Amino acid sequence: MSIDQAAAPLTSGERHLAAPVATGLVVRIARPDEAPELSALALRSKGWWGYSASFLRACQAELTLTETEAARCVVVEVDGVVAGFHLLSESARADARDGDGEAVGELDMLFVDPPFIGGGVGRILFEDARRRAAAAGWARLQIEADPHSRTFYERLGAVQVGERLSRSIPGNSLPLFELTLRAPGGGRMVARATYWR
């Protein structure tokens, strides 16, 4: 770095902040106080698809997390920066049990911050959600997805099984995907290896 690019001298009371330390990739449970940050990330991620400002305003309430919901989220950090998150829950719908009476889970949210889209963060989040859903004993995982993310879910093994009406946009329907977590007869599905970058 040349002297022309060096930081200006500090005045009284100022101090340089250290650059973030490269920590690589971390998967962790979110904190309740991260609800506003995760909600903003979800809205940025939704906006990445080119939706209008009015469409995003209509989705804002649905994409806003409470502190309780945030505490149930799993985040991926890249070098100390939250790059994405997912939120799972047991389905409360009438069809929440499969033919054998086993519980079905929902991938309520999976969002990647736009600077990290295409870098493998979404796959890491999805595979983590798959592992946690299987560990919870769910037979299937249902995913109400944005139409633009159809290919992403199909590549990771989810199958479209129908549609659901949007809770944010009246008259709009969203693809409903399903991921089988157990083999027929109650056996566990074989886990797939996941790589980042």
Cβ–Cβ under 8 Å, residues 23 and 80 = yes
What is the reported pTM?
Answer: 0.78
Residues 25-34: tens digit of each pLDDT = 999 999 999 9
Domain boundaries in the chain? 23-180
Average pLDDT over residues 19-39: 87
How far is Cα 142 from Cα 105, in angstroms, rounded to an integer? 6
In the chain, what is the greatest distance between 2 CA atoms, to the nearest angstrom? 71
How far is Cα 3 from Cα 141, in angstroms, rounded to an integer? 56
Cβ–Cβ under 8 Å, residues 158 and 136 = no
- Give the percent of the chain with pLDDT over 90: 58
N-terminal to C-terminal alpha carbon distance within the chain:
29
Topology adopted by domain 23-180? Aminopeptidase (3.40.630)
Residues 159-197: tens digit of each pLDDT = 999 887 667 676 777 889 999 997 545 555 444 444 444
